[in-house]
Amino acid sequence: MAFVLPRAAVVPSLPLKARLTPLAFQLQARSRNVSARRTIISSAASPATEPEPERLHKPQPSRRKPLSAEQKKYLDKALRVNQAGELAATLIYTAQMPPINKAYPHLRPLMKHMYDQEAGHFKKFNELLAKHRIRPTAMYPLWQAAATFLGWSTAAMGREAAMACTEAVETEIGEHYNGQVRELLTWMTDMENRGEEVGEELRLLIEDIRRIRDEELEHLDHAVQNDAKEANPYELLTGVIRTGCRGAIWVSEKV
């Protein structure tokens, strides 16, 4: 008599694939650590869903507790990247304006308006870096050359390409600022929950970055309204520019 035990009844006491090899375990642990510790975050979430604490709009008493070392490191990296981003934006517009204004004079006021706003942002971040003694990125001359080349080449490809370049850069920068604003607002809510004062410095910083983020998204809207999506190698162009921006952000954080 053959007595066959049904498979389901056999419950192994040990998991069949018991353990990872030591190397596999280490790699898994390292990848988990890296994703948890990424300092600059991007957020594609809409600004409309951001928290809006009332403390943000009222002058604050000065802090009793200093910022932690991680918070200072975050601010150091964030402001350095922001300054590099605004440098690139001003140079892109400076390079784009002559050919675009010559071929499409009706775009002159728009280009000037966007350039003036970027110049204002750049000045703001320069002041912040000097005030808080933050080192600017060492890739400064490289970003100067790259941004000028990017502006000039997209303007040479035409109006739609220039607008697509603006759209790609502003999308990346908008997401980047979104992430920063969310991070800083999280700090603010944590401080409120712990009963600490937020301090004027942090409050003004959050307000400034929010205002700058709003203006960048406004530029994004202008670019799309001006036929950015009509650019001929649209996917390739925007893909390359967005990847370049992400790479530049990553490098400027470190160097």
Residues 174/216, Cβ–Cβ less than 8 Å: yes
User: Judged by CB, which is closer to other proteins: 55, or 63?
Assistant: 63
Considering the rule CB under 8 A, would residue 208 count as an interface residue with other proteins? no
Site string for other proteins, 27-66 (x = CB under 8 A): -----------------------------------xx--x
Tokens of 89: 């934006």
* Among 40, 41, 67, 251, contact with other proteins (rule: CB under 8 A): 67
Output the smallest distance, CB 63 to other proteins, in A. 5
Output the smallest distance, CB 242 to other proteins, in A. 25
Site string for other proteins, 132-151 (x = CB under 8 A): xxxxx-x-xx----------
User: Judged by CB, which is closer to other proteins: 76, or 208?
Assistant: 76
- Angle separating helix axes 69-103 and 159-194, nearest 10 degrees: 160
b/e code 186-216 from CB counts within 10 Å (16+ = b): ebbeebeeeeebbbebbbebbeebbebbebb
Considering the rule CB under 8 A, would residue 76 count as an interface residue with other proteins? yes
Output the smallest distance, CB 168 to other proteins, in A. 22
Tokens of 175: 């997401």
Count of CA atoms in the C-beta half-sphere (13 A) of 161: 18
b/e code 87-125 from CB counts within 10 Å (16+ = b): bbbbbbbbbbbebbbeeeeebeebbeebbebbeebbebb
Which positions lie near other proteins, rule CB under 8 A?
62-63, 66-67, 69, 71-73, 75-76, 79, 83, 98-99, 102, 126-127, 129-136, 138, 140-141, 152, 156, 199-201
